[in-house]
Amino acid sequence: MIHRKEIIVKGGCGGDGCVSFRREKHVRFGGPDGGDGGDGGSVVIIASPDAFDLTFLGSKKEFVAGNGQRGRSGWKHGKRGEGLAISVPVGTMVFAKANSGQEILLADLRATGQKILVAKGGRGGLGNARFATAVNQAPEIASKGEPGEQRHIILDVKLITDICIVGPPNSGKSTLLAAISRAKPEIADYPFTTRQPVLGVMPGDKRDFIVAELPGLVEGAHLGKGLGNEFLRHAERTKLLVYLLDGSSPTVMDDLRILDSEIALYKGLSQKPKIVVVNKIDLPEAQARLPEVKKGLSNLGMPVFFISALKGQAVLELTRKAMAMVEQASEDEEIISQAQIAIFRPKPRK
């Protein structure tokens, strides 16, 4: 999967203006009739629900729109160059890379159909009919088309989700995702079954919730161990983190400590609301350790659920709590965003 890609975009060149004179039988003093060149096509980037990552862009580095056609005689304008639309996943951040290497945010495409113009096509040149004056009634000049705008663009995909399920390998993340959503992830009894984020839709009473399952995290993931923590970029915009632990593991508390440590080392995730979920409590080994695990999690300071994703035990209660916490997080974000809007209230003169 490709979640970050640097490309070069270039608008099409404008067509040249035409130098031409009207020459018809029985028509005296026909005069100049050269048309303008067509404008070059522009490059836009648009958020599409059909794109999940940037793999479909392949190894292509340059994306160029069509050139405008040259003007023709008879005051005929050249055809406008064909524009180019690059489809990207919803949640893609578009940066312009300056010569100094600085990345300047141009747009954050958070909604389907949202788009941004990244390279404008050049204007077409003027035909000689445009240069006719009372002094020079037969100009033999026309202007050239302008070159299109060229930019170095960086595309950075960060999925927009309501809930992200994170946990150590083989903790049952795919099983839980399949239990609470319409997703059908690969489920197998070995670590790192999930090698890329998997999205699912969890139906709610008022709206549907987008849930993502991320690949397993191990100690040292921030150093690149296991599959690394690169996929945590997709948790940056989530409203709720679900820590999923394997209840049959003899090191449940250590697994939680490692998981929380790796999350804390990634920017912006430590402050997000969290739910701790202990899975696989239907297994005998999990039942034997359950009193000890409950005691260890009693003073955690966040909601804790003991479930069996495979059997559906306590899954409904978990989803209801998760939905409520997502709605609360959304309301808090709305309050903060409104508070950041400056309101100017002019006062009357004394």
Q: What is the mean pLDDT of each run of 10 residues along the chain (350 residues)?
A: 87 95 76 94 92 83 95 93 93 90 90 93 94 89 95 91 90 89 66 68 88 82 63 86 92 90 83 92 91 89 92 93 91 68 65
- Choose the CATH number for 163-337 among 3.40.50.620, 3.40.50.1820, 3.40.50.300, 3.40.630.30: 3.40.50.300
* Structure confidence at residue 349 (pLDDT): 74
Residue 179's H or E segment, with its range, is: helix 173-180
| 3-class SS of residue 34 | coil
Give the integer Cα–Cα distance in Å for 283 and 164.
Answer: 25
**With b meaning 16 or more CB within 10 Å and e meaning fewer, what string describes 10-40?**
bbbbbbbbbbbbeeeeeeeeeebbbbbbbbb
Residue 334, classified by CB atoms within 10 Å of its CB into exposed (0-12), middle (13-18) or buried (19+), is exposed
Which two structure tokens, joined as six digits, stand for 238? 């989530």
Q: Report if pTM > 0.95.
A: no
**With b meaning 16 or more CB within 10 Å and e meaning fewer, what string describes 223-253?**
eeebbebebbbbbbbbbbbbbbbbbbbeebe
Give the integer Cα–Cα distance in Å for 92 and 108.
Answer: 6
* Structure confidence at residue 229 (pLDDT): 65
Q: 4-157 falls under which CATH superfamily?
A: GTP1/OBG domain (2.70.210.12)
Start-end ranges of CATH 2.70.210.12 in the chain? 4-157
Would you tell me how many other CB atoms lie within 10 Å of the CB of residue 213? Answer: 28
Around 103, how many Cα atoms within 13 Å sit in the side-chain half-sphere? 11
* Structure confidence at residue 204 (pLDDT): 85
Residue 92, classified by CB atoms within 10 Å of its CB into exposed (0-12), middle (13-18) or buried (19+), is buried
| Closest by Cα among 207, 183, 234 to 327 | 207
